[in-house]
Homo-oligomer: A and B are copies of this chain.
Amino acid sequence: MGKKRTTQMSDVARAAGVSVMTVSNVLNGRPNVGAETRIRVLEVVDELGYEINLTARRLRTGRTGTVGLIVPRFDHQYYSELAARVSDALAPEGLHLVVEQSGATRERELSALSLARLQQYDGVLLSAVGLDFADLDRIRTDVPIVLLGEQEVPDRYHSIKMGNVAGARLATEHLVARGARRVAVLGGRLDTPHHDMASSRAQGWADALDAAGLAPDPALVIPLESFSIAEARAAIAERVAGGLAVDGVLGVTDEIAIGAMAGLRDAGRSVPDDVQVVGFDNLRISDHVSPGLTSVDPGHDAMVAHALRLLRRQLEDRGAAPEHVVSDVALVERGSTRRPK
């Protein structure tokens, strides 16, 4: 029925009566092509509807014009907002963003991180929650990588970290200043010496309570598995219904905090009158839920700007000394916490 072949450069060359190299030169805006020739080639390109084969170009040049962003889940808002920001920031530079989901499990994350996959990009922004220090240290590739994230990472990587401890501390201090005395940290964990997001934010919570002379009660550390809204909602509702005394909740993410607000409603508590709630991430939606969610803003734009700067640096100079940036955090007050008296 049909022909298999798509049109390629040699077809254009033949039709235009020039060599393949000349076509290539025209298409890539290289010098040493006469004006007339250039025009003729472009006409033929148009006529034949020729489009370059990016795979072949990539094989030959090693460059792809594409940056990869690898996130645990597409459907966690934090990551989708991040992806949109990065994509928008990359577009003016002529770079294309593609996003992959690693799945948050160590196994799927490692597979997304096989050298094979990484090599497909000029650079990679990696938001790796499932991998530990050792996994990361095992990755050996020439592809520039910037780690976006939470955990302690091998020194040789460029990285952007959120101010997790500082942010959680800020949030908890805010709750305490507004009168909360029994502040739960939903999604946190303290048991392990890990440096992941859940632990770091719980650490900030504990620090703030310590500083305020309120001993952190282990019963108020409520771990979660999936970090989903639904899970958070069920967990807090269950605890409260079971008699846990709480007058403040720090959700380790905004989604968790939104789940917490729903769960507290389920349990007959009102926000912020009975229980005040603070989240972390300052998602777009957090301003629009009811009540508005007080949240820690991790400085999204600054993070993205830093990330791309570090990526560019590596693109220009493979040997660039790794840089570790910690983003500034700020508290955004909304209706889920009370006004000062």
Number of copies of this protein chain within its complex: 2
- Residues in B neighbouring A54, C-beta threshold 8 A: 116-117, 119-120
The interface centre, meaning the residue of A75, A77, A233, A262 with most chain B CB atoms within 10 A of its CB, is: A75
Contact B74 A99 (CB under 8 A): yes
Contact A258 B285 (CB under 8 A): yes
Q: How far is the CA of A14 from the CA of B114 in the complex (A)?
A: 23
Contact B80 A119 (CB under 8 A): no
Q: How far is the CA of A74 from the CA of B74 in the complex (A)?
A: 8
Q: How far is the CA of A328 from the CA of B95 in the complex (A)?
A: 39
Give, as a whole number of angstroms, the nearest-CB distance from A220 to chain B. 22
Q: Is A81 close to B, CB under 8 A?
A: yes
Contact A56 B59 (CB under 8 A): yes
Give the size range of A's interface with the partner: 35 or more
Give, as a whole number of angstroms, the nearest-CB distance from A35 to chain B. 26
Q: Is A96 close to B, CB under 8 A?
A: yes
User: Which residue of chain B has the shortest Cβ distance to A86 in the bound complex?
Assistant: B74
Q: Is A108 close to B, CB under 8 A?
A: yes
Quick one: given A74-B80, A75-B84, are A285 and B284 in contact (CB under 8 Å)? no
Q: Is A230 close to B, CB under 8 A?
A: yes
User: Which residue of chain B has the shortest Cβ distance to A229 in the bound complex?
Assistant: B288
- Residues in B neighbouring A288, C-beta threshold 8 A: 229-230, 233, 258-259, 261-262
Contact A84 B73 (CB under 8 A): yes
Contact A97 B87 (CB under 8 A): no
Give the contacting residue for A262; candidates B56, B259, B290; CB below 8 A.
B290
- Residues in B neighbouring A91, C-beta threshold 8 A: 103, 108
Can you show 15 pairs from A to B with CB atoms below 8 A apart? A2-B142, A49-B140, A53-B59, A74-B80, A75-B83, A77-B80, A79-B80, A83-B101, A96-B100, A99-B99, A233-B288, A262-B288, A262-B289, A265-B290, A289-B290
